[in-house]
Amino acid sequence: MTNSPPDALLALTNVNTFYGQAQVHFDLSISVPRGHIVCLLGGNASGKSTTMKIILGLVKPRSGDVTFDGASLLGLSTPQIVRRGIASVPEARRLFADMSVRENILMGAFVRNDREAIAQDLDKMLTLFPKLGQRLSQRAGSLSGGEQQMVAMARALMSRPRMIVMDEPTMGLSPLYVDRVLELIRTINQEGVSVFMVEQNASLALEIAHEAYVLQTGKIVLSGSARALKDDPRIRDAYLGGSEAA
């Protein structure tokens, strides 16, 4: 087993995951340095979303280790992992559709008990996402996709996480909102929150990421700094299913 570098906030080491007989991850190793944005790229059925589930404890790997701030997450339940300081912006946002926008955002602070600070953070979210101010008492399910993404991000920030994991944050959004979301991710990151995001849209993701990994049928086929990967022709090969050695 390789040891994760000491500055890694989150590290997956030699993770092997199975759904029944089918192997999803083959010796997957990923590390997210403190304060960085790390992006996991890959096409359909590459095992991206399962990586998210592994980090959040929704799926348990058969072997390997997942550490956060040096401590293993493997024995922990999802709520316990969230309490360690990881917040999630799930795929397709997954808001609580019948609860109000305010309730949704406050649900993000479920693990906290400091009422006054929570109220302050809610105000902070409204400066970060000004559009949500008029929507607070509306049903979350009635918002547009872009607005829902804002709520999901605000909800994740409310737990004051050290790291946010995002599953395809730009999926299904209009181009205008895509730019807005990427900008917000950068802002969040500049305030000291590490970000691990899963994306299909490589060119967009590489614009804001520090490092990136390319996942293909459960194996990391490419990794490095985002700047270097941006011009790498192998990115395209990975997406189009080209051979690993290409």
Partner 1 sequence: MSSWLDYTINGLIVGNVYALVAVGLALIFGVSRLINFAQGSIYLVGAYIGWVAVVQLHTPLPLTIIVVAVAAALVGLIIERFGLRPLQNSVRIAPLLATIGISFVLDQLVMLTFSPNPRALPSQLPDVRFQIGGGTIGPLDLLIAGVGITSALLLFVFLRYSKLGWAIRATAQDRDAAMQMGVDVNRVNQAVFGIAAALGGVSGLLVGMYYNQIDTAMSLQATLKGVVAEVVGGAGNVPGAVIGSLLLGLVESYGVAVFGTSYRNLFAFLLLVVVLVLRPNGLFASARQAPPEPLTGTFIAPSRPVRIPRWALLVATGIFAVLPLLPVSFYVLQTLINAWLLGMLALSLTLVAGTIGQVSLGHAALLAIGAYTSALLSLTFSVPVGLAIIGGGLMSAALGTALISPSFRLRGHYVSIATLAIGEIVSLVILNWESVTRGPIGISGIPPLSLAGYELVSPISIYWFSFIVMVVLALLQGRLLGSHLGRSFRAIRDDDIAARAYGLSLNRYKSLAFIFGGFAAGVSGGIAAHLYSYINHETFNTQQSILALTVVILGGLGNVVGAIVGAVALVGLPEVFRIAAEYRILIYGIVLLLLVRFRPQGLLGTM
State which residue, 102 or 230, has the beta carbon closest to partner 1. 102
The nearest distance, CB 20 to partner 1, in angstroms, is: 10
State which residue, 66 or 220, has the beta carbon closest to partner 1. 66
Residue 15: name the closest of 4, 1, 26, 3 by CA: 26
State which residue, 105 or 220, has the beta carbon closest to partner 1. 105
103 binds partner 1 (CB under 8 A): yes
100 binds partner 1 (CB under 8 A): no
Token pair 């409204």 is found at 126
Candidates 37-45, 89-97, 122-130, 182-190: pick the segment binding partner 1 (CB under 8 A).
89-97
Site string for partner 1, 2-41 (x = CB under 8 A): ----------------------------------------
Type of residue at 174: S
Class of residue 183 by CB neighbours under 10 A (exposed 0-12, middle 13-18, buried 19+): exposed
Q: How far apart are CA 210 and CA 93, in angstroms?
A: 24
Residue 108: name the closest of 64, 175, 53, 153 by CA: 153
State which residue, 106 or 238, has the beta carbon closest to partner 1. 106
Question: By rule CB under 8 A, what count of residues binds partner 1?
Answer: 24
* Ramachandran angles phi, psi of 77, nearest 5°: -80, 165
Judge contact between 87 and 121, C-beta under 8 A: no
Helix runs in the chain, H state only: 48-56, 78-83, 101-107, 115-128, 145-157, 175-190, 202-208, 226-230, 233-240
If one counts every other C-beta atom within 10 angstroms of the C-beta of residue 153, the result is: 25
* Ramachandran angles phi, psi of 6, nearest 5°: -65, -25
Positions 147 through 176 that interact with partner 1 (CB under 8 A):
155, 159
Positions 105 through 124 that interact with partner 1 (CB under 8 A):
106-108, 110-111
State which residue, 81 or 235, has the beta carbon closest to partner 1. 81
Judge contact between 197 and 185, C-beta under 8 A: yes
Q: What is the dihedral of CA 204, 207, 211, 216, to 10 degrees?
A: 20
When binding is defined by CB under 8 A, the residue of 45, 63, 70, 94 that contacts partner 1 is 94
239 binds partner 1 (CB under 8 A): no
State which residue, 116 or 231, has the beta carbon closest to partner 1. 116
State which residue, 98 or 231, has the beta carbon closest to partner 1. 98
Site string for partner 1, 48-87 (x = CB under 8 A): --------x-x------------------xxx--xx---x
Site of interaction with partner 1 (CB under 8 A): 56, 58, 77-79, 82-83, 87-88, 90, 94-99, 103, 106-108, 110-111, 155, 159
